[in-house]
Amino acid sequence: MHNDKSEINANSLINHDLAPSSKEERTWKTANFVSMWMGALNNIPMYAVIGGLIVLGFSPLQVIGIVLVASLILYAALTLNGHTGSKFGIPFPVIARTSYGIRGANIPALLRGFVAIMWLGIQTFAGSTALRMAISSIWPAWNNLGGDLTIVGIDLPGLLSFLIFWSLHLLVLKSGMESLKKVQKWTGPIVGVVIIGMFIWALKIAGGMGPIFSLAGKYDTFGEAFSPFLAAVTGVIGYWATLILNVPDFTRFARSQKDQIKGQLIGLPVIFTIFTFATVTIVGATSVVYQTPIADPIETLKHFNSPILIALSALLLSSATVTVNVIANMVSPAYDLANLFPKHIDFKRGFYITAFLALFTFPWEIMKNSETIFMMLNMIGGFLGPVAGVMIAHYFIINKRNINMKDLYSYQGEYMYYKGYNYRAFFATMAGAILALIGQFVPAMKSVYEVSWFVGIIIAYFMYIALMRIHPPTQVAKLDFIEEEMTQA
């Protein structure tokens, strides 16, 4: 079980970016994983998610509890799935070949890629609204450019802001993953400064923490809060569920297993909880002062007195949205496209294709009918939790943390299964997804849908193990027999 590139024959299943990362490429230290999570967490969409929990009626302390529980579960799932990348230096779509088959791996990879591209468009539009506000705070005439002219359903200032903001993404990975490592060193801490400034402002206008943390939620007892609490935990996990799949795309560059485990520990439970504390303080302060919580940080910034301060804060907040977009919504599709056409698309080409496709999501139109599109994305996302369950089960239970590296890039190896597809993985995924999502259509099962991520990943995990034990693939059965014979000898 080696990851020496020289042992892998060049063929239609491999290119430089899909091959195991070399020792020279493994440069990510603990601090790099910490800064990755700082950039991923300290941004407008995540702020809105946490602030939204206050709007839904949770108290500030309950929200901190929700995020702490969710971040611990996320940390466990991310480090488990990230273990494969750290050990063997391979990205998510290649790892998926071990459980879904050489050809079958393209299906979960493309599903993951589709969800990412849609979210890339949506979050780029969200970031562009902050950029538009930053420009118009200094130059009010910006909002009137083009008059009543609309192009593909959006006014000229909105379109220009979107295109400018979109183009910033292209600069982040101009030198591959090393560029991301350098950029995220700055974006996370810079946004942290903005959040600290907003935190101080919140304490000042609310008269300290007392009035903020004495805000009562609508759930008075543990019994009343339990089900909504669990549903909220599931929602926060669901926000990052896609990254659980492709975290090996990052951990494959870790210097050691310890670096990714320690870096994600500091980056997730610790920094996420600190960011949540600051966010609920700011949102809680708006509830105290304005009698209604404001979950949108851009709307909160409008209450600042200085146009220059508003512009600077909005600009810095939007910069972090670029980082989270690259981490969560661009790296994975780039590898997924490379996996689909290894001879023609490498990581960098996949990255630019992903960015190009995001332009045609027309996110301003999506937001007009956001309920329908989000339901569709959540349903597709419902399949991704079970995919993680299958991958974790295969790596830790079936493969016992070993991978046949040569067969990963071969049409004749053990991961070929039946014509390149492992039906057991697809059956387990479908079963997990159906049980997780059935509550969307069957009112009596609504409580199951509220914890869909847990249901999907657990069902898929155990069903996959059962199917692999009951009806093991011929090649796996043969290998087990040989191993048993050798042990007896």
Q: What CA–CA distance (Å, rounded) separates 291 from 281? A: 14
The tokens of 426 are what?
């697809």
CATH topology of domain 5-488: Hydantoin permease (1.10.4160)
pLDDT the model gives residue 4? 47
- From residue 181, alpha-carbon distances to 265, 323, 485 in Å are 18, 10, 48
pLDDT the model gives residue 484? 43
Among candidate residues 40, 75, 70, the one with its CA nearest the CA of residue 58: 70
pLDDT the model gives residue 489? 40
Residues 6+ apart with CB under 8 A from 127: 44, 165, 318, 321, 322, 325
Q: What CA–CA distance (Å, rounded) separates 240 from 70? A: 10
Percentage of residues of the chain with pLDDT beyond 70: 90
Residues 6+ apart with CB under 8 A from 366: 118, 121, 122, 373
Q: What CA–CA distance (Å, rounded) separates 294 from 283? A: 6
pLDDT the model gives residue 343? 86
Find the helix or strand (DSSP H, E) in which 82 lies. Answer: helix 60-88
pLDDT the model gives residue 287? 93
- The pLDDT profile of the chain, 489 residues, written as one tens digit per residue, is 444 444 444 467 889 899 999 999 999 999 999 988 887 887 777 888 899 899 889 999 999 999 999 999 999 999 999 999 999 999 999 999 999 999 999 999 998 888 889 889 988 998 898 899 889 988 999 999 998 899 989 999 999 999 999 998 888 776 666 777 777 777 767 777 888 888 999 999 999 999 999 988 888 887 888 889 998 898 888 888 888 999 999 999 999 999 999 999 998 999 999 999 999 999 999 999 998 899 888 888 888 888 888 888 888 777 778 888 888 889 989 999 999 889 889 888 999 999 999 999 888 887 776 556 556 656 666 778 899 999 999 999 999 999 999 999 999 899 999 999 999 999 999 999 999 888 888 888 888 888 888 999 999 999 999 999 999 998 654 444 444 444 444
3-state DSSP assignment of residue 399: coil
3-state DSSP assignment of residue 13: coil
Indicate the burial class of 99 (C-beta count within 10 angstroms; 0-12, 13-18, 19 or more): buried
pLDDT the model gives residue 358? 94
- Report the 10 Å Cβ neighbour count for 55: 15
Indicate the burial class of 481 (C-beta count within 10 angstroms; 0-12, 13-18, 19 or more): exposed
- From residue 169, alpha-carbon distances to 111, 321, 392 in Å are 22, 10, 31
pLDDT the model gives residue 149? 92
For residue 472, report the phi and psi dihedrals to the nearest 5 degrees. Answer: -65, 145
Are the C-beta atoms of 457 and 432 separated by less than 8 Å? yes
For residue 31, report the phi and psi dihedrals to the nearest 5 degrees. Answer: -60, -35
Encode pLDDT of 399-444 as tens digits.
Answer: 999 999 999 999 989 999 999 999 999 999 999 999 988 888 888 8
pLDDT the model gives residue 376? 63
pLDDT the model gives residue 312? 84
Find the helix or strand (DSSP H, E) in which 154 lies. Answer: strand 154-155
pLDDT the model gives residue 6? 45
3-state DSSP assignment of residue 421: strand
pLDDT the model gives residue 47? 85
pLDDT the model gives residue 381? 66
pLDDT the model gives residue 311? 86
Whole-prediction pTM value? 0.86
Among candidate residues 94, 407, 31, the one with its CA nearest the CA of residue 249: 94
For residue 14, report the phi and psi dihedrals to the nearest 5 degrees. Answer: -145, 150
